[in-house]
Amino acid sequence: MLADAEQSPAFRLVQCFPPPAGPGPWPDPICVLELLPPVASQINVVLEEGWSGEESWGVWMQDTEASAFWIAAENEAQRLHVAAFPLCVAGQPQAVALEVNGVAVAEHRWADCEPWQTAIDLPNSLVRLGRNDLRLHSAFAGSPGDGDPRLLSVGFTQLLVEGTGTYWPGGPR
């Protein structure tokens, strides 16, 4: 597990301590790891399925479906900020649709390759106490070229939920 954590950009090894010299509750070393802030601080949802690895600018949606979630500590209205751009392929118009807890909340069709940015108000009737699911659907996925074998569709520079009771792995927002 330590080797995996050391390879992850989400963790930093602080120090490992040897096992106790004499009898103790465990015979193994103990290592302390620091959980680092997300690479893309404008993304505070937990990315579940359908995403490439986070990059310094954000994250690509792989293929045509992806899922994420966030935890609401209160049943209150929240706002979802989205900034995205399409994988541009000549003759393939791109679109993205977003659902929160099974309800369609936004859709965008690109006529060109320009970035799209919006803020979606989520009423308290839509926000659940606890886990809230975000599903995304795109029109198509394609290869970005340059030998990259991934099938990508939409790049997200922002997927940020705001609300006083919004929590994610990095802490309260």
Question: Could you tell me which CATH class the domain 46-172 is placed in?
Answer: mainly beta
The residues with which 39 forms a beta bridge, in sequence order, are: none
Look up tokens 């997300």; give the residue: 38
Helices (H), the chain: 2-7
- Tens digit of pLDDT for each residue in 34-74? 877 655 578 999 999 999 988 889 999 999 999 999 999 88
Per-residue confidence (pLDDT) for residue 124, from 0 to 100: 93
pTM equals 0.74
The residues with which 104 forms a beta bridge, in sequence order, are: 99
CB atoms within 10 A of CB 19: 12
Per-residue confidence (pLDDT) for residue 166, from 0 to 100: 52
Determine whether 63 is exposed, middle or buried from the number of CB atoms within 10 Å of its CB (0-12, 13-18, 19+).
middle
Rounded to 5°, the CA angle 162-117-71 comes to 25
Per-residue confidence (pLDDT) for residue 164, from 0 to 100: 56
- Tens digit of pLDDT for each residue in 77-133? 999 999 999 999 888 999 999 999 999 999 999 999 999 999 999 999 999 999 999
User: In angstroms, rounded to a whole number, what is the distance separating the alpha carbons of residues 47 and 59?
Assistant: 9
Rounded to 5°, the CA angle 120-55-113 comes to 55
Predicted confidence (pLDDT) at residue 165 exceeds the cutoff of 60: no
Predicted confidence (pLDDT) at residue 12 exceeds the cutoff of 50: yes
Predicted confidence (pLDDT) at residue 157 exceeds the cutoff of 50: yes
Per-residue confidence (pLDDT) for residue 168, from 0 to 100: 47
Going from the C-alpha of 45 to that of each of 25, 68, 76, 84, 168, the distances in angstroms are 37, 6, 17, 15, 6
Domain residue spans of the chain: 2-35, 46-172
Per-residue confidence (pLDDT) for residue 160, from 0 to 100: 95
- Check residue 131 and report its DSSP letter: E
Tell me the Cα Rg of the chain. 20
Going from the C-alpha of 114 to that of each of 9, 83, 108, 130, the distances in angstroms are 30, 11, 12, 35
Predicted confidence (pLDDT) at residue 171 exceeds the cutoff of 50: no
Per-residue confidence (pLDDT) for residue 140, from 0 to 100: 95
